[in-house]
Amino acid sequence: MNLLETSIEYLKGVGPKRGQLLKKELGLSNYSDLLHFFPFRYVDRSHFHKINGLISATTEVQIVGTLGVIKEQGAGPKKRLTAQFSDETGSVELIWFKGVKWVKDSLKIGSTYVLYGKPSVYQNRFNFPHPELELLNDFKANPINGLQPVYPSTERLSNQGLNGKAIGKLLKNLLPQLQNTLQEYLPDYLIKKYRLKGCREAYNQVHFPANIEELEKAQRRLKFDEFLFLQFELLQQKQLHRETIKGFAFKNLGSYFNDFYKQVLPFTLTGAQQRVLKEIRKDLRQGIHMNRLVQGDVGSGKTIVALMAMLMALDNNFQACLMAPTEILANQHFSSLKELTQPLGVEIALLTGSTKSAERRKIHEQLENGTLKILIGTHALIEDKVKFKNLGLAVVDEQHKFGVAQRASLWKKNSLPPHILVMTATPIPRTLAMSVYGHLDISVIDELPPGRKEIETHHRYDSSRLQVFGFMKQQIELGRQVYVVYPLIEESEKMDYKDLMDGYESIERAFPKPNCQISIVHGRMTAEAKEIEMQRFVKGQTQIMVATTVIEVGVNVPNASIMVIESSERFGLSQLHQLRGRVGRGAEQSYCILMSSYKLSANAKTRLKTMVETNDGFKISEVDMKLRGPGDLMGTRQSGDLNLKLASLVLDGAILEQARLCVQKILNNDPQLALMPHQPLKRKLQEKLADKTQWGKIS
């Protein structure tokens, strides 16, 4: 058995009871877990402070000084112990509230100690509650060189004598035993090429670093390895997918595609759209199974690309479907795709939760006998009752709103799985795309259709609402339309509805009929009522659309030129960017106005500032990830599966790029890892990946 798999209870200083507790509290059950339990910070014990040099009450300091008078004060639970502690520059008070008797007995008045602790301020003077004290002579005999690791612990563990410091001692016991086990698994040529520290050294130094430089080198090696293992998993999966999963070969481009391209397509495709279509075409003709993600900013024209891919399927006698995350969006897609495909005579239908049962039955029937060619819908599409004659391509719009399982069920609609094209709502940061979607092929539409004017974005405080109304009036007089969006958060639903209705009323007063008509759309309305209100706005019968975020995704009204976002400080960046993308779709200059109160957190300030400064969704997604962290950004458990302990998708992008390139090179040269120098790595990977489920197999 591998020594690393030894149960933690056998480690000196643990035993069965604490072993159980370590497992329960920190998830540490064997030696390997403990080895990978890294310090969360390090303190510098090579530096000493003087008492008159204390300036901040926030970090730990180390002082050499003499212990003076000790006093016991108070009685009962209020009993405490104080002591004077002085160096040549001044003196401070030390205080203990617990263990008074034990502390008093163990301290030697008049001796010189090394004090270590965090100063706090009381009545304008520094004092040290519960400092660590070590006799200077003992300290000299057994000095702590360089950085001291600080490990996290829990209250229950601390009560059993396993505070952070004691966990450090466990690692001191563990590491010497593992020196033989920690053999290098990366081949020499990679260690040299990427200038990596040896793996044993890296583990030793990350727990007990000699100095900052050594620590950073150790961390870089371990981060590299984390990314390396992740990329092996993803890229091997991708390779396996290519090799083993067959897909329908769409050999021909026929009249659907060609007629559309020549006669219907209302504009010239952008260079980026053409490139992405070529990438899709290449996948589809080969007889491999396509599993592709299309990334593009709001308004970059993903829908037309999806439609043209669907026409490729139709030309080869297959059906296609498009799944959208909301009913409004599905409706919208349906009406625009219906219009675009009408000249071609394509049978197309819409299936959502509100499709009437007679219509539903007809759709089911036509799907099965193959007369229906394209089905648009919400997740109603993936119900078991929905059966296709021969589904060749499934497009999933606004990717991240669907769970992995939901998408997986699309696969089961056929003998061979349909080709899968997933489209993101807004760009995903590159590091996240490489990790969470690293097993997919990725296409990027990084160009907007020509003639788009940058949307002007302004931040206004609530006190300027009258001016904002004035501006809206001007634009409405010019014939434009306006969105006013209110936040709706589940926890504060009641208040939010009140805000929405109050806002609606004040807009009604400021924009009286008959000159101005107002639509309102929110989640408490039936799908039917929502659709009617939407349509009034789409047709230009209403000038103002007051809504909650139900209009966040996909809604397309080119004549709308102002997006007013109320309480914008309560929205996340990607949501703000999505909402802003609802305007700027026509020829007119468009505006986004972010309303907020004066009270803004630092984080909210950054969000609003970023929105005002840039329209670039790729840049915005990077800022968003920095603010929220990668896990939150995905909104799914996927990023939790990345198993990154040291490496960060926010900070370590460069290391990730290197690791991914490295894995690509290895797999290109030696796909089975059969060569001699790759044997230790192969064994390591087998150990690592043995018990991982293949969650990512499906788009």
User: What residue ranges bind ligand ADP (CB under 6 A)?
Assistant: 267, 269-270, 273, 296, 298-304, 449, 556, 585
H/E stretch holding 319: strand 319-323
For CA atoms 204, 207, 211, 217, give the dihedral sign.
positive
Is 554 a residue that touches Mg ion (CB under 5 A)? Answer: yes
Quick check: 365 and 280 in contact, CB under 8 A? no
Point out which span in 97-105, 241-249, 500-508, 547-555 binds Mg ion (CB under 5 A): 547-555
Pairing of strands 112-117, 120-122: unpaired
Rounded Cα gap, residues 250 and 476, in angstroms: 49
How far apart are alpha carbons 547 and 488 in whole angstroms?
A: 10
Helix (H) / strand (E) containing 457:
strand 456-461
User: Which residues have CB under 8 Å from 555's CB, separation 6+?
Assistant: 328, 329, 332, 534, 582
Question: Residue 22 or residue 298: which is nearer to ligand ADP going by CB?
Answer: 298
Closest separation in Å from C-beta 294 to ligand ADP: 9
214 or 624: whose CB is closer to ligand ADP? Answer: 624
* Separation between Cα atoms, residue 474 and residue 468, nearest integer Å: 10
Task: Residue 55: count other Cβ atoms within 10 Å of its Cβ.
Answer: 10
Q: CA–CA separation, 240 vs 243, rounded Å?
A: 5
List the x/- string, 97-116, binding to Mg ion by CB under 5 A.
--------------------
Nearer to Mg ion, 157 or 340 (CB): 340
585 binding partner (options Mg ion, ligand ADP, none; Cβ < 5 to 8 Å by kind): ligand ADP
Tell me, rounded to whole angstroms, the distance of Cα 622 from its chain centroid: 10
Specify the amino acid at residue 328. Answer: I
Residue 426 touches which of Mg ion, ligand ADP, none (Cβ within 5-8 Å per kind): none
Comparing CB distances to ligand ADP, the nearer of 149 and 296 is 296
Tell me the HSE value of 100 on the side-chain side, using a 13 A CA sphere.
15
7: which DSSP letter?
B
Residues touching Mg ion, count (CB under 5 A): 1
Taking the complex as a whole, the smallest distance from the CB of residue 304 to ligand ADP amounts, in Å, to 5
* H or E segment to which residue 679 belongs: helix 679-689
Shortest distance in whole angstroms from residue 256 CB to Mg ion: 22
The position carrying tokens 């208040």 is 495
Minimum Å gap between C-beta 520 and ligand ADP is: 24
Amino acid of residue 247:
G
**Partner from Mg ion, ligand ADP, none binding residue 435, C-beta < 5-8 Å depending on class:** none
Residue 19 or 427: which CB sits closer to ligand ADP?
427
DSSP annotation of 411: H
Piece of 34-42, 334-342, 363-371, 546-554 that binds Mg ion (CB under 5 A): 546-554
Q: Give the separation between CA 486 and CA 228, rounded to whole angstroms.
A: 44
Total residues belonging to the chain: 699
Query: Nearest approach, Cβ of 586 to ligand ADP (angstroms)?
Result: 9
302 vs 684 by CB, closer to ligand ADP? 302
Q: Which stretch binds Mg ion (CB under 5 A): 17-25, 308-316, 511-519, 551-559?
A: 551-559
Whole-number minimum distance, CB 299 to ligand ADP, in Å?
5
| Minimum separation from the CB atom of position 616 to Mg ion (A) | 17
Q: Which is nearer to ligand ADP, 299 or 503 (CB)?
A: 299
CB of 582 to ligand ADP, least distance (A): 10
The closest residue (CB) to Mg ion is 554
Q: How far from 559 is each of 481, 530, 537, 592, CA to CA, in Å?
A: 6, 20, 10, 14
DSSP secondary structure string, 583-648?
A: SS-SSS--EEEEEE-S---HHHHHHHHHHHH---HHHHHHHHHHHH-HHHHHTSSGGGGG--SS--
The sign of the CA dihedral 514, 516, 521, 524 is negative
**Least distance to ligand ADP, CB of residue 186, Å:** 41
Binding window for Mg ion (CB under 5 A); candidates: 98-106, 168-176, 274-282, 552-560 = 552-560
**Closer Cβ to ligand ADP, 196 or 583, answer by number:** 583
CA distance 524 to 533: 13
Instruction: Identify which of residues 13 and 449 has a Cβ nearer to ligand ADP in the complex.
Output: 449
Segment near Mg ion (CB under 5 A); pick from 313-321, 365-373, 553-561, 588-596 = 553-561
649 binds, among ligand ADP, Mg ion, none (CB under 5 to 8 A by kind): none
- Tell the smallest beta-carbon distance from residue 327 to ligand ADP (Å): 17
Q: Cβ closer to ligand ADP: 219 or 273?
A: 273
When CB distances to ligand ADP are compared, the closest residue is: 301
The one-letter amino acid code at 22 reads: L
Which tokens hold the place of 120?
Answer: 């706090």
| Partner that binds at residue 298, options ligand ADP, Mg ion, none, CB closer than 5 to 8 Å by kind | ligand ADP
Which does residue 30 touch among ligand ADP, Mg ion, none (CB within 5 to 8 A, set by kind)?
Answer: none
Nearer to Mg ion, 554 or 584 (CB): 554
What residues contact 517, with CB distance under 8 A and at least 6 apart? 536, 541, 542, 543, 544
In terms of Cβ atoms closer than 10 Å to its own Cβ (0-12, 13-18, 19+), residue 629 is middle
Nearest approach in angstroms of CB 426 to ligand ADP is 9
Our CB check for Mg ion shows the closer of 288 and 329 to be 329
- To Mg ion, the closest distance from the beta carbon of 312 in angstroms equals 19
Contact footprint for Mg ion (CB under 5 A): 554
